[in-house]
Amino acid sequence: MKFPSPVSVTWIAELINAKIQGNVNGLCLGINEIHKVEEGDLVFVDHPKYYKKCIDSLASFIIIDTSTECPPNKALLIVEQPFEAYQKIVEHFRPFHHQTSMIHPSATIGEGTVLAPNTFIGEDVIIGKNCTIHPNVTILSHCILGDNVVIESGTVIGSDAFYYNSKKNRPVWYKKMKSCGRVILHNQVELGAGCTIDRGVTHDTIIGEGTKLDNKVHIGHDVVVGKNCLFAAQVGIAGATVIEDGVILWGQVAVNKTLTIGANAVVMAKSGVPSSLVGGKVYFGYPAEEANTKKRELVWIKRIPEMWEMLKRINNKE
């Protein structure tokens, strides 16, 4: 999430009651999580395992629970509970506002766009021209839709990320990280019935121009989908994954988090993708491998009983 305007690190420190170590003159441009962090961003870390990763990242400001070495151009904001400090910043810049009307007065809806009955449009939503939004669609706050977007009934855009701070030394192990990112749908995107598109935790979930989703597709937080992709029913994509242009995922494909599927790859139905795939190839199975290789493996697996009987006969003759 980018702040409305740059904010001094001293102001942030005052907001969260933090001690500053390092650059006290810096300006924070926004808050982000480690998978999406950019220069000028603020990030938090509360486990020694990830201290170095955060400090060495592009982040300029790190909310942390201890003093440690830091490059001179960066700043540490030292607090007892970095996660709670992160939550306080999100609450300040993107607070939750209870909404009673179906269409928020701050929403912008383009010329020629049709909203069917029972469509919910949240705060600061922007919808482009000539879109068709079918009944019972929910578009939650700060999401952006381009022109000529079609959304079928029952789809939810901008639901909170499935993203938790985990600590087993407290009564509630999993505490929800407040989601302050958005969902951005570019021009000519079509979403089927019953899809769920999570907003980014701090960055944006993005679906590129011309991409089409079948019914009951789930897109996790901070996922970036390229142009002209095609996802069949019940595809599920976990958080912070990158799907490049022209990718086809057939029915019930499951894609793991923080990986990349290269441009123009095709993943056949019911496959599982646990790690990144090179573009321009056809994949199948779990773990997903090139389809021709996987099919040959299945043929040989089916021949195992025959081969076993052959070996037994050879042994008996000896």
Give the structural domain span for 215. 108-293
- Tell me the CA distances in angstroms from 184 to 10, 29, 55, 173, one per residue in order: 32, 20, 29, 32
Sequence-distant (≥ 6) Cβ neighbours of residue 10 within 8 angstroms? 20, 24
Buried b / exposed e across 246-265, counting CB within 10 Å, b at 16+?
A: bbbbbbebbbbeebbbbbbb
pLDDT beneath 70: ranges in the chain: 318
Distance of alpha carbon 266 from alpha carbon 272, whole angstroms: 12
**Same domain? 84 vs 112:** no
| pLDDT value for 33 | 83
- Output the domain CATH number for residue 53: 3.40.1390.10
Based on the structure, what is the number of domains in the chain? 2
| pLDDT value for 13 | 96
| 143-197 residue pLDDT tens | 999 999 999 999 999 999 999 988 888 899 999 999 999 999 999 999 999 999 9
The helix/strand/coil state of 264 is coil
Question: Closest Cα to residue 229, out of 252, 253, 213, 251?
Answer: 213
Q: What are the tokens at 4? A: 């409305």
- Output the domain CATH number for residue 141: 2.160.10.10
Distance of alpha carbon 7 from alpha carbon 104, whole angstroms: 28
| pLDDT value for 128 | 98
Q: For tokens 């955060």, what's the residue?
A: 54
| 12-47 residue pLDDT tens | 999 999 999 999 999 999 999 888 889 999 999 988
Decide if 242 contacts 221 (C-beta within 8 A).
no
**Same domain? 7 vs 152:** no
**Same domain? 67 vs 119:** no
137 found inside a domain: yes
CB atoms within 10 A of CB 104: 18
Question: Annotated catalytic residue: which of 134, 203, 218, 221?
Answer: 221
**Same domain? 269 vs 130:** yes
Question: Closest Cα to residue 63, out of 81, 38, 44?
Answer: 44
**Same domain? 199 vs 145:** yes
Hey, which residues does 79 pair with through a beta bridge?
none
Decide if 223 contacts 205 (C-beta within 8 A).
yes
Annotated catalytic residue 221: yes
| pLDDT value for 318 | 62
**Same domain? 139 vs 288:** yes
Among 47, 66, 93, the domain-final residue is 93
Alpha carbon 277 to chain centroid, angstroms: 18
What is the value of pTM for the model shown? 0.90
89 found inside a domain: yes
